[in-house]
Amino acid sequence: MPKRPLKFEKMSDSNLLFTVDGHLDLATNAMTLNRDLTQNVDDLRNLEKALGLTDFQDRGNGTVSLPELRKGNIGLVITTLISRYSSTGEKIEIMDLPGWHSPEQAFANAMAQLEWYRQMELIGEMKAITTRKELKAHISKWNGEEYMDKKPIGYILALEGADSVVNLDYLYLYHEKGLRSIGISHFGIGRYAAGTHSDGSGLTKKGEELLNEMNSLSMFLDMTHFTDKGFYQALDIYDGKIIASHQNCRSLVEGERQFTDDQIKCVIERGGIIGGALDAWMLHPNFQMNQDDPKEMGIGLEKLVDHFDHICQLSGNCRHIGFGSDLDGLFGLEQTPYDMNTIADLQKFQFILKSRGYNDDDIEHIFFKNWINVLHDVLD
């Protein structure tokens, strides 16, 4: 018999917890999907429906915008640049993202995405965070009165897929521009490592060189999207801080995109965070994209807590989990838990976690403290 759905109380602003989301693709949505993320989600949905857009599966179903982040008290995000290389320009079917014909083109495209973040800073929508001092000041202002009119969303810059790192000199150039996290693989075969749907392959020679060079810089290596082979190769080479920004458990949902228990333990042993992803196919076995309905399959927000529970059992505490929603990862309501309308609904996890036995201190760690603690390790 299915569980009775939780009833969520309407929350006042005073009950909203400060929240960190460890993985969003804001620039991809702004520049690839041509979404003005300063607008409300409802307005974005209505515009795309009125225009009859069908080029991406989530048209008219988006769940993320900057006003919705503020509404959900999500004051800090790790957000990406995604720019792929492919000698043929072929698209990866699951992502529908093109591959640029040269690494230099990929870099130029990444810089266009970076410029979007800079433009958001100029109009007060976002705030780059690159140091501990900036992080502390931002959180203090967000929770105080200084940002009362329009709170800028703090962001830590990440690279999802390293194809646009033309050569090792570009690694330092990226770091100077504020990059503090790199996942060197993505979908398919990349210049530095094989990624999701390429199991059996691992790091390339260039990937080994890149990881060795990354050891000289303070930044996260994001283990998400590594193949199993690449995961362990990377662990042997990279000495710094590791995270898995948007990752769930293979013991609950089969497939090489999820982590085995041994991989989860490796992240825990290295002091990392595993950010729980809210993509329906990562929450329920055999979910078929563009076919299945999350509500009909009973895929609610509580499914993510099953993954949290499993990681906590492996670690013995709740200090290695947080949100890495990926809610703008080119999917929307059609592939989102049925009891979620926008990203602001991350606050519902306060009720869900309490109903599952997590205490107030645990919940605060999951919402923001765990991410902030690991960020202190990579920010100067």
Residue 91 is predicted with a pLDDT of 53
Q: Please check whether residue 324 lies inside any domain of the structure.
A: yes
- CATH number of the domain enclosing 192: 3.20.20.140
Per residue in 80-115, pLDDT tens?
A: 999 999 876 555 544 556 789 999 999 999 999 999
Residue 221 lies in a domain: yes
The rounded distance, in Å, linking the Cα atoms of 322 and 317 is 12
Task: Give the residue numbers spanning the domain of 251.
Answer: 14-378
The answer as to whether 3 is a domain residue is no
Q: Is residue 141 part of a domain?
A: yes
Confidence class of residue 199 from pLDDT cuts 50, 70 and 90?
confident
Instruction: Return the amino acid letter for 132.
Output: R
Q: Let me know if residue 146 belongs to a domain.
A: yes
Residue 101 included in any domain? yes
| Residue 59 half-sphere exposure toward CB, CA atoms < 13 A | 14
- CB distance 230 to 197 below 8 Å: no
pLDDT at 13 exceeding the cut of 90: no
Reduced to 3 states, what is the DSSP secondary structure of residue 150?
A: coil
Of 16-30, 83-97, 113-127, 284-298, the one with minimum mean pLDDT is 83-97
Q: How many domains does the chain have?
A: 1
pLDDT in tens, 124-161: 999 999 999 999 999 999 999 887 778 999 999 999 99
The per-residue pLDDT for 88 is 63
**More confidently predicted of 38 and 10:** 38
List all residues 6 or more positions away from 124 whose beta carbon is below 8 Å from its beta carbon: 150, 152
The H or E element spanning position 113 is helix 103-122
**Environment class of 369 (CB within 10 Å of its CB; exposed 0-12, middle 13-18, buried 19+):** middle
- Residue in this structure with the two tokens 């690694």, named with its chain if needed: 171
CB 199 within 8 A of CB 96: no
Residue 203 is given by DSSP the state: B
Provide the b/e sequence for 268-294 (b: ≥16 CB within 10 Å). Answer: bebebbbbbbbbbbbbbeebeeeebeb
Indicate the angle between helix axes 370-378 and 132-143, nearest 10 degrees: 150
Question: Residue 212 pLDDT > 50, yes or no?
Answer: yes
Note whether residue 5 is domain-resident: no
Q: Tell me: the pLDDT tens digits for 77-86?
A: 999 999 999 8
pLDDT for the residue 200: 84
What pTM was estimated for this model as a whole?
Answer: 0.94
Q: With respect to residue 104, please indicate whether it lies within any of the assigned structural domains.
A: yes
C-alpha distance from residue 374 to each of 163, 180, 321, 377 (Å): 26, 12, 11, 5
